[in-house]
Amino acid sequence: MGKKSAQVICTEIANGKCHDFRLYKESGVKIYESIKVLTDTGYLGMNKFHTNTTMPKKRSKTHPLTPEDKQKNREISSLRVLNEHVIGRLKRFKILADKYRNRRKRFGLRFNLIAGVYNYEL
């Protein structure tokens, strides 16, 4: 997603259940190092693939977050909310929100068409 334009730039799909980070690794998509990537905590290890990555810090039972960590997580989430809004708008088309019951072969085509319609509406 382009930050300033809020456009969907690149999509990737997988058959069945597949974790987002695994899908990213297997897709072979390369991101320029000058681009800052904002991810959620599901992408732990993304720093190995892209050094300009920012993600919130996780807490554990033994290591609670400091007030500075909480403030930094709030700043990151305020930037990431734009991504979540785009995902929510795409889910209104129901192809992502519900179980897809048509031919799997055409799912990628239909999703790209929906992303194109969304970009056109902007």
User: Could you tell me the residue ranges of all domains in the chain?
Assistant: 20-121
Both tokens assigned to 1: 């997603």
> What is d(CA 11, CA 96) in angstroms, rounded to the nearest whole number?
12
- CA neighbor of 36 nearest in space, from 21, 20, 55, 19: 55
Q: Which tens digits make up the pLDDT trace of 1-36? A: 555 678 887 888 888 788 889 988 988 888 899 988
pLDDT at 101: 82
**pLDDT at residue 72 above 90?**
yes
